[in-house]
Amino acid sequence: MLKHISLIIRHETEVPNRIGKVIEKLFHGYGVSVTEGKVNPQTEAIVVLGGDGTLLHVAGKAYQLGIPLLGINLGGLGFLTEIHINEMEQALDSLISGTFELDKRTILSVTLKVAGSKDSTYYALNEAVISKGPLSTIITLPTWAGGSFLTTYRGDGLIISSATGSTAYNLSAGGPILHPCIEALILTPICPFALNARPLILPGRMKVAIQLRNAREKISLVIDGQAGYELNEGDCVEVQKAQGHLKLIKSPIRNYFTILREKLGWAKGVGT
């Protein structure tokens, strides 16, 4: 039985706050304490009330604590926050009773290597993006995979995504959709200078290394669209599958393919 959960709400506005109070009351009725607005180190689960961006904001913390994460969708996309409001009560009951089903998602370990400085490691559920500023010139990114030189990407940047992130920025940039149970890395160039530069799927066990060359203007490393770090000439970014998984609580009603049809507007066929 749960003793403590953390509740993260997207915006301090009337509707999310009102729903948040309902959730708090439900948990208190079961004797479960609630911390709102931050992740308490003693928490046993995180409930997100918002959209995918809100969930991404706390996904790394949930992964590091090894606790389940439940997303209730108040946003537009909802690939990650897959619980609808009308499914909320059933999902919360399953969380409290411990009868929920987990979806184990790959987490990316993203390490920034800067000469003369200590390495910095970040965690991404969707992707790591290396990109130029809006007025910058084409950037040059020599790239290695599994220790072997792969190619040099030239363009506006490069997306390194997980299968979970395949329906995020990767999809917008023309990359493929992968089922989230597939452990893989997807390399998708952003507006490449060469027409033969195409998305590439690599085994999840491989480490990808990208070095910055000919960097004259501002270039950024962005993790899950949540945090950005400035890159300079010679800096190296290494991306690989992190140990373990993020424990994402599944919808008790809808499966991945149902969500895919809903979000991408695919027509319903026979048997749906």
* Residue 119 is a catalytic residue: no
Query: Quick one: tokens of 264?
Result: 């991408």
Quote the CA–CA distance of 53 and 80 in Å, as a whole number.
9
Starting from the edge strand earliest in sequence, which strands make up the sheet with 139-145, in order?
120-124, 108-113, 236-241, 208-211, 139-145, 148-155
CA distances from residue 240 to 35, 165, 215, 259 in whole angstroms, order as listed: 33, 14, 24, 27
- Which one, of 112, 140, 115, 144, lies nearest residue 128 by Cα? 112
Quote the CA–CA distance of 207 and 59 in Å, as a whole number.
21
DSSP H helices in 30-129: 52-65, 88-97
> Which residue is catalytic, options 52, 103, 156, 224?
52
How many distinct helices (H) and strands (E) make up the chain? 5, 18
Strands 227-231, 102-105: pairing is unpaired
Strands 46-50, 69-73: pairing is parallel
In what helix (H) or strand (E) does residue 105 lie, and over which residues does it extend?
A: strand 102-105
Quote the CA–CA distance of 215 and 237 in Å, as a whole number.
14
80 Cα distance to chain centroid: 8
Q: CB of 203 within 8 A of CB of 178? A: no
Hey, which residues are catalytic here? 52
